[in-house]
Amino acid sequence: MTEFALPRNAFKAKLAARKDPVLGLWLMLGADASTELLADAGFDYVLVDGEHSPLDIDLMRRQIAAAERGASSVVVRPPVNEAWILKQLADAGAQSFIIPMVDTAEQAEAAVQACLYPPQGIRGAAGVVRAARYGRIPGYLTKANAEICVVPQVETLTAVENIEAICAVEGVDAIFIGPSDLSASMGFTGRPGAPEVDEVIRSSIARIHACGKPACTLGFDEATVAKYLGMGADMVAVGSDVTLLLRGAAELLAKHR
């Protein structure tokens, strides 16, 4: 039988190195062709977003497969932090996970466990799944844990209070701050750039760094990306397929009208 090596998780490695900023593009359209095209654009990672896109597990699997053809690492965000979907995504081939709405260390631990095989976790041990190239990666079940990357999203004031506890969970690789939900949780819905929110993000990044973890966030315009990089963010998502189309279309029309 043909054999393959377990794919190395370049995203996890670059995040852990904390040298150059890790730059990503989020995929929210669920369109295989544009995902293929964008996964080759040179971003460090592309994220298949299951939280705010109408993607069921099979569409997410197709998105992962389309993105894997590109040079960027593939990260997924499930719609919810629940074991059943994390296990299915891991079996579908996802190695890196950004987990929405993690408020406590217990929730972070549950997410990590769902992504890892025993003894560290509770992922079901089936060596014939897509992630194991249907059995063509020898020793997949004993090697897979080492390449899994779990990044909980801190995006409420409760989660901010618990940053140190969440960072301390074994298997948490980094923390992602969600400016939009955080601002809503602070009473500034629709104003992620409010000075009060900026201050919480700035101090959260410092606290995450004090715990020895990389801090991640997103900003879909140049000034916001520069602001978060200036605050020391190690990874910033700098746009999405939606923002590229939206702005590209508006600019094109304005040029020719």
Ligand X SMILES: O=C(O)C(=O)C[C@H](O)[C@@H](O)CO
Number of residues that bind ligand X (CB under 6 A): 9
Contact call for residue 241 and ligand X (CB under 6 A): no
Given 18, 52, 202, 209, the catalytic residue: 52
The region of 35-43, 127-135, 144-152, 175-183 touching ligand X under the rule CB under 6 A is 175-183
Q: Which CB atom, from 94 or from 132, has the smaller least distance to ligand X? A: 94
Nearer to ligand X, 132 or 154 (CB): 154
Q: According to CB under 6 A, which one of 179, 214, 219, 239 is a site residue for ligand X?
A: 179
**Which C-beta is closer to ligand X: that of 72 or that of 217?**
217
Of 190 and 212, which has the nearer Cβ to ligand X? 190
From the list 44, 103, 109, 155, which residue makes contact with ligand X (rule: CB under 6 A)?
A: 155
130 binds ligand X (CB under 6 A): no
Residue 178's region, left for phi above 0, alpha for psi from -120 to 50, else beta, is beta
The torsion angles phi and psi of 123, rounded to 5 degrees, stand at -60, 135
Q: By C-beta, is 129 or 174 nearer to ligand X?
A: 174
Interface with ligand X (CB under 6 A), residue from 30, 121, 178, 214: 178
Cα 61 to its chain centre, rounded Å, is 15
Asked about 209 being catalytic, the answer comes back as: no
Give the residue closest to ligand X by C-beta: 178
Q: Is 93 in the site for ligand X (CB under 6 A)?
A: no
| Chosen residue from 52, 62, 202, 207 binding ligand X by CB under 6 A | 52
Whole-angstrom distance, CA of residue 204 vs CA of residue 46: 24
Q: Is residue 109 at the binding interface for ligand X, with CB under 6 A as the rule? A: no
**Residue 218 is a binding residue for ligand X (CB under 6 A):** yes
Closest CB 186 distance from ligand X, rounded Å: 12
Per-residue 3-state assignment (H helix, E strand, C coil) for the chain: CCCCCCCCCHHHHHHHHCCCCEEEEEECCCCHHHHHHHHCCCCCEEEEECCCCCCCHHHHHHHHHHHHCCCCEEEEECCCCCHHHHHHHHHHCCCEEEECCCCCHHHHHHHHHHHCCCCCCCCCCCCCCHHHHHHCCCCHHHHHHHHCEEEEEECCHHHHHCHHHHHCCCCECCEEECHHHHHHHCCCCCCCCCHHHHHHHHHHHHHHHHCCCCEEEECCCHHHHHHHHHCCCCEEEEEEHHHHHHHHHHHHHHHHC
181 contributes a contact to ligand X by CB under 6 A: yes
Q: Considering the rule CB under 6 A, would residue 180 count as an interface residue with ligand X? A: yes
Active-site positions?
52
Q: Which residues bind ligand X (CB under 6 A)?
A: 51-52, 153, 155, 178-181, 218
